[in-house]
Amino acid sequence: MSATEIMQQIEALPEKEQQELFVLLTKKVVGGQGANSKPWLGKKLSFEEACDVVFRENRELLSALAK
């Protein structure tokens, strides 16, 4: 199953179920950050450094948004 098919199935869910899924995924992402602590967390970054981090760590999302 492709990511596009999964997203279409999520969009077909009732809004309450979409919200429950969002909460679950958010907890997994936020919870996983403690285990894989990023070296830049808690540091003051320049704009350029922050952009670098955002683009490096969200490459897939940014690619999807660019389409």
What pLDDT score does 12 carry?
94
Our CA angle for 41, 54, 3, nearest 5°, is 115
> Residue 8 is part of which domain span?
3-66
Distance CA 2, CA 14 (A): 21
* Domain tally, the chain: 1
Nearest to 25 by CA among 39, 6, 52: 6
Q: Which residues contact 1 (CB under 8 A, 6 or more apart)?
A: none
**What percent of the chain has pLDDT above 70?**
73
CA distance 10 to 41: 31
pLDDT of residue 14: 93
pLDDT tens track for 34-46: 555 566 666 777 7
Regarding pTM above 0.85, the answer is no
| Cα–Cα distance for residue pair 3/45, rounded to 1 Å | 33
